[in-house]
Amino acid sequence: MSQFGKVAVLMGGASAEREVSLMSGAGVLKALLSRGVDAHAFDPAHRHLSDLKREGFDRCFIALHGRLGEDGTVQGALELLGIPYTGSGVMASAISMDKVMTKRIWLSEGIATPRYALLRRGVYTRGAVMEIPDLLGLPVIVKPAREGSSLGVTKVAGYSGMAEAVDAASQLNDDILCEECIEGDEVTCPVLGHGDNAYALPVIRIVAPLGQYDYQNKYFTDTTQYLVPCGLPAGEEAAIQELVVRAYRVLGCRGWGRIDVMIDGRTRQPYLLEINTSPGMTGHSLVPMSARAAGIGYEDLCVKLLADTALDTGVAA
């Protein structure tokens, strides 16, 4: 493992997902150390990134989630420092963090995603908020346009809940995404690799209590069911895998990612919701679960991702 040199596991950070990031980073750090990698915890909320260069780190495993970690900002800093890192580059990270920009690109490429409307804090009126159910139907999903881990997400069943849902989302981001609610199977599918070499891992079907796959049910309860093999009708899993790899490539992602999908219960049409370019690596996280189903253990997954570190210049570490 000496080929990797001195490795920083970036964890924590200053985003709303700090708590989850610390759990992800702790898991990654333990895994790398168990394989003999010279790995060290590094929290950008407490230390300046320039310390990475000063202290001689050769590459970074990014276990940060959300803004200031998954949105291209840290990636840009590492580009300037010349330190290769895991995951997508600056542009792909920035685009993928923005759910609206991701939708626009997917739609331009003919990739189905739920219908949506965008509200901007300080610009929208109460009347505009109340028109959303007329545009998208009920129920409607309201969420911050640039946030992860289902933070600030509300499923609104009636007009009376719209104002409160929009206000909750606006506490996390200026842009609020209102999205058509697709009723049916909720699945997710990780992708590994880059370009023509990118490939999908097994699809996971998620069955959450009362259909609420929220922050609490993602990380802090054991009542959510994760089905892998997913048990979808014949051919559907392969079609979804092909679709998510295409969507991943369209955004220019590399290293790894995970795309969330809703399958319409009536038409069986898959709709892509969003992509995560620095997915969770906690005990409840889905990429390690899917990888395990494909015969890739947690430690092997961490080493594989570390081996794929690169810079936007195309220079691998």
Could you confirm whether 280 is annotated as catalytic?
yes
Could you confirm whether 260 is annotated as catalytic?
yes
Cβ contact 258:287 at 8 Å: yes
Give me the half-sphere count of Cα atoms (radius 13 Å) on the Cβ side of residue 303.
16
Which member of 88, 276, 285, 290 is catalytic?
276
Distance (Å, rounded) from C-alpha 138 to C-alpha 96? 27
Could you confirm whether 147 is annotated as catalytic?
no
Could you confirm whether 274 is annotated as catalytic?
yes
For CA atoms 283, 287, 289, 295, the dihedral sign is: negative
Which member of 260, 299, 308, 312 is catalytic?
260
Which member of 13, 258, 298, 312 is catalytic?
258
Which member of 124, 213, 219, 248 is catalytic?
219
Which member of 12, 13, 15, 17 is catalytic?
17
Could you confirm whether 19 is annotated as catalytic?
no
Structure letter (DSSP) for residue 78: H
Distance (Å, rounded) from C-alpha 106 to C-alpha 247? 7
Which member of 21, 88, 149, 170 is catalytic?
149
Which member of 280, 285, 290, 298 is catalytic?
280
Q: Which amino acid is at 262?
A: M
Residue matched to tokens 């005990």: 283
Could you confirm whether 17 is annotated as catalytic?
yes
Q: Which amino acid is at 206?
A: I
Which member of 98, 274, 299, 308 is catalytic?
274
Strand-pair partners of 300: none
The catalytic site residues sit at: 17, 149, 219, 258, 260, 274, 276, 280
